[in-house]
Amino acid sequence: MVEFAPLCVPWKRRLQTLVVLQAVSCLVSMAILSYVVFIGLLFTRFWIISILYAVWWYLDRAKPWQGSRHIDVLRRWSVWKYMKDYFPISLVKTADLDPSRNYLVGYHPHGIATVGAFTNFCTDGTGFSSLFPGIRSHLMVLNLCFWAPVFRDYIIISGMVAADKESASHILSREGGGNLLAIVVGGVQEALDARPGGYKLVLRNRKGFIRLALMHGADLVPIFSFGENDIYDQVENSPGTWLRWFQDGLQRVTRGSILLVYGSFGLMPYRRPITTVVGKPIEVQKTPHPSQEEVDRLHQHYMTELENLFEAHKLKYNVPRDQHLEFY
């Protein structure tokens, strides 16, 4: 039975809900709507708008592979504070990041919508710029996200970049340091197992980001976001079910999939806290042509540091003492 909010709910709390509703609806429909409007205008007297945008799109097509563009004023909009307060989301620093270095961050877990990753690294809602002065953050997302007109510009200005080697190399090779690239390592495959109380991470065979760190001498930073898996429930899709068979097949073909999830009201996520804990950087020496042995060694070190980070903080965020990370 649906329970509607009473009229006495504070205006600030209603604004929090409105902002999150906008973000959710954006992910679900804005990309499709932008295509409809773009094509629809071609058959009206305003066709020139679509033509001019198409020219801009062509000229700007490489931007997601060239670090995107940061518009700091937009990243500091007060609207992101409301989004942060909805759950709420908090960012915890355990060590400083030297602005003379570049960083490759592994974000865990993926969750359903990577809300913590977006809020922490694509906005200043949780105070990233104050906690880590001199560091400019970027977040990798599927290339598919940049195929939709207008929507692509919306995510480009927040610092999202294309998820491939060329894009990562552009950021990590920048002279002078101060660049941070966050990669949600587990990807869609991990999202398929995301549910409240779950701590399964797809990491054991994910070593591409380790090789990138070695090639560019970028320090590795493990991050664990407590509560990221708790904001949605997911329809039963354990391995062996017909739904999981379909989702896995779609993921292999498109690199994406369809997640059947629900929250407090349809697709509205639950108001449950997300605490993103940033671990201590792992210093990486530049190795232009790393051997598989070097990659494996650093990967094992990274997994150990991530596990230590989880164990050191889990009791603070209501994770049972006997609960541990599961790598697969």
pLDDT digits (tens, 9 = 90+) for 277-321: 999 999 999 999 999 999 999 999 999 999 999 999 999 999 999
> CA 99 to CA 90: how far, in whole Å?
22
Q: Looking at the predicted structure, is the pLDDT value of residue 1 above 50?
A: no
Res 70: pLDDT: 81
Q: Looking at residue 28, what DSSP letter applies?
A: I
In a domain, 26, yes or no: yes
Res 6: pLDDT: 54
Name the most confidently modeled range: 68-72, 160-164, 225-229, 264-268.
Answer: 225-229
Mean pLDDT of 148-172: 90
Closest CA to 147 of 137, 162, 158: 162
The CA R_g of the chain, rounded to the nearest whole Å, is 20
Question: What domain range includes position 112?
Answer: 11-327
Q: Looking at the predicted structure, is the pLDDT value of residue 194 above 80?
A: yes
Name the most confidently modeled range: 32-41, 143-152, 183-192.
Answer: 183-192
- For the chain, give the mean pLDDT: 90
Cα torsion angle, 14, 145, 130, 316, sign: positive
The Cα-based distances of 209 to 104, 182, 285, 316 in angstroms read: 8, 10, 15, 29
Provide the β-strand partners of residue 226.
275
pTM of the full structure:
0.90
Res 28: pLDDT: 59
Mean pLDDT of 44-68: 93
In a domain, 32, yes or no: yes
- Which stretch of DSSP H or E encloses residue 284? none
In a domain, 5, yes or no: no
Mean pLDDT of 22-44: 79
Q: Residue 104 in contact with residue 213, Cβ under 8 Å?
A: yes
The pLDDT confidence band at residue 178, using thresholds 50, 70 and 90, is very high
The pLDDT confidence band at residue 26, using thresholds 50, 70 and 90, is low
In a domain, 1, yes or no: no
More confident residue, 252 or 65: 65
In a domain, 306, yes or no: yes
Mean pLDDT of 166-195: 93
The pLDDT confidence band at residue 2, using thresholds 50, 70 and 90, is very low
Per-residue pLDDT tens over the stretch 96-110 = 999 999 999 999 999
For the chain, the domain total comes to 1
Domain CATH number, residue 251: 3.40.1130
Q: Looking at the predicted structure, is the pLDDT value of residue 31 above 50?
A: yes
In a domain, 162, yes or no: yes
